[in-house]
Structure 1
């Protein structure tokens, strides 16, 4: 019997009403207008531009005061939906199977268990063929943010690709670089905040999801250990924003995006989602801001409900943003994964997401399945293309990925492109863009 781990991070929350978190309020001040007095008892964080996060014991009073304030464009409460436990990785037969031959390109002993490295005619994304033709000698380093359950930054196959904040001295309890965060050496944890409401610096993965996602993107290649990631020249910022029981909030997600962008991330991977759009404005505003100011592409999973998200939205995948690329999942046979969401309008491309072999905490490796795994497969491809052609804008990079797919009749009317991503074709197309 084949055992699969369906990534429950990408699921549809079914509660009819979101439970309100009454202590946090998003406030957007109109352009050119004065910022109001939020009160002496409030802790105020300028998230970006003219958007503020206000924290106090009861934001409902402040919310009423701001309702008719002509200087305010909108307010939104930070909300949660229904929690759902996340399963841990389990062994599958693919953990001991070899799926392709890497023709001596990699010395990583478990790399041939990653079937997505196969060529297009074997339903992979042509990693093997791309490396044979293009190599990696002239690539630039690409910073990728993984907004997830954290990362095992000591993992044998990840420690050399983990991003390091050189301006921070580890463990001294001081915000050395003055960026508003204490000891953010490898990233931040928005789930644990200090007395001032600041995200803390311990982004250690206590689940497995974020570590698995990170390995697919950029596990160290040719170190004689474990596997190889798709991207050859990356640094990964692990940002802990998704609880082990899922149910991330808009404020945490938005802050993660801003932190990633400010620290040089050009691609953000989002292998999470839920059916409720508790806020309406914060995430789209954040996506536009990081596109316009920092040139960031956000790659997000379509979800695992076998649903048409054109009819039944899931977020962040269903937000309308130019710099958002939405991914469905495929199997080793090339079919759309049985669990994968789809959408002729709202899903862009497909990528391998079933039985994906990657890193898990404690120097371990396992297979997991979900659009949560298809998203980092795409992120790895995007990062490799960008490392060869670092002048691509986020919208150009998105278009390269969409225009270089291998179409498949089984995806017809299931996504915009009707195709599966391909690294080799993507590199060749990117070369032609001036």
Structure 2
């Protein structure tokens, strides 16, 4: 299969081999192995029993092999991490290591943090621009400059096309298969997480059905900050025997460790006059296709309005999954711009902005996501409020849509179809 260049490749072009060791982290299937293999002379795959046995027997194999050395699924044998760290300490100018992991090490596992030696980078499923649907015309990095660049471009994609992208997923090895094969693969992916990945990474799953039900309820709460008690109630409606809070906390902890949960943190503004903002994260799965699969909802059902939402009083579930698809892409583009992504919501819920992108210069791009082809004054009221509050710190205001055209409104808000936004 031809390798499809990713946004993270541009970052790696810049920092590797200048940095002696980089750890690519993310859920299984996002493409870490393919990306790292493009840059390696030696590949050690620890999910291969023979290679794992060789590394266990001779740990120095990691540091004596021909560089750059790529160690895949390093967390299966955590001593690899410390061996790489020591190799970097001994020869930081020549060490060249890439590590890939689909889980953070289990609590209690003793490894050095690697701070200053091993740089961590997160990989997510394919952003919309990486799916090669159309060429983007609007750059998030340009929006962050504060120069208010010209906005233009046309997209042939419709709401139905974005619904198709949601259910196809951003996993490179799944999305291009025929629909029935794809559905079976996503279902199997979820089964493997519950039945194998979580147990293999330190979680004893006593009630797999309860865990799946909780995960489905979490997916139904996509793009909300619903209380975890509400999610649990949705997962156990009509049941008296509910999992204990400690059990549910364990679900969350371990699902985040294997990168299946990918919540967006609340934005905490520095040197800004904003007060009384919620600190609750917004719920997102690593890919909205997982949420759709857990609910048994396909493209046509999404377009008909199927899907029960948890923690939301308005909007459709398709709208929530479209926001999740947009969020997934914006986070990929933000990483290329050395920016972080959060969300804004006032404690009294009177003000809300779906995504806040903030770079190292503390410049902010505020983004609303709308499952619509047109944008009204009502849709941009919170963006314009934030502009009044932040002044020059607000580099740009954006509404991501399903519409056909990118343009800038008279009030300065950029209207951008999701397919036209890129890094």
Between Structure 1 and Structure 2, the one with more strand by share is: 1
Higher helix share: 2
TM superposition score normalised by structure 1:
0.30
Query: How does the TM-score come out when normalised to structure 2?
Result: 0.31
